[in-house]
Amino acid sequence: MVSTKFIKQLDEKFGIKFNNKELLEEAFTHSSYANEHRDAVRDYEKLEFLGDAVLELAISDYVYRHFPKLNEGELTRLRSNIVRTEGFSEFAIECGFQNEINLGKGEEKAGARHRKTLLEDVFEAFNGALFLDQGLPAVQRFLHFTVYPLIDQGEFDDSRDYKTDLQEFLQQNGPVEIEYQTISESQLPSHFVVELKINGKVQSQGEGHNKKAAEQQAAKAALEELE
């Protein structure tokens, strides 16, 4: 069963209150649990199917509206980077989903609760359930807390390695000391602030969903200023 604490957390952190609690329960029910408990709701596989399509639509709409200068091919590549399910497991963990999954005894013993592929499935299933319960606008509001900020930070834009570009730019005339230092780190949601120093002097800061993304943002900011 989805815990009362989690239901309260959804409301407090994301403003989400499910009208149909069975949909929420279904989103967190693995097939192994449903097979062992005949009185349980069905497993999340159909919601996962729906959630996959809902996420693609919501993200397509967002990037279309927020990146008007990108052409069709660039928008397609950006969307592809975002909807790769590998990243969804991190969002699931940040939202506390791993603690609410209903698993069969065998899967529980095998450590499935922390399996990335399972967490990815649950993230999709949750968004499918939210769509059925409250429609696309509710999904988009939830993504404003989770996925959209990372899109704005450029975490899914892999077209340029700013750290490498900065290093090459700075070292054209000889060695330069470049240091990235984490000055702030928080969880739920995961957020890093990194300070970039060049020859011991603070040059810029960057923020991101993880340390790597924050460092890229700091390097990007430094390049834009120096160039």
Nearest to 13 by CA among 121, 85, 96: 96
Instruction: Fill in the DSSP letter of residue 86.
Output: G
To the query of whether residue 86 is one of the catalytic residues in this protein, the response is no
174: left (phi over 0), alpha (psi -120 to 50) or beta: left
Q: Name the catalytic one among 26, 52, 90, 195.
A: 52
To the query of whether residue 52 is one of the catalytic residues in this protein, the response is yes
What type of residue sits at position 89? Answer: S
Q: How far apart are CA 168 and CA 189, in angstroms?
A: 33
Task: Please report the sign of the dihedral spanned by the C-alpha atoms of residue 181, residue 184, residue 190, residue 196.
Answer: negative
Q: Name the catalytic one among 48, 124, 133, 195.
A: 124
Residues marked active site are found at 52, 124
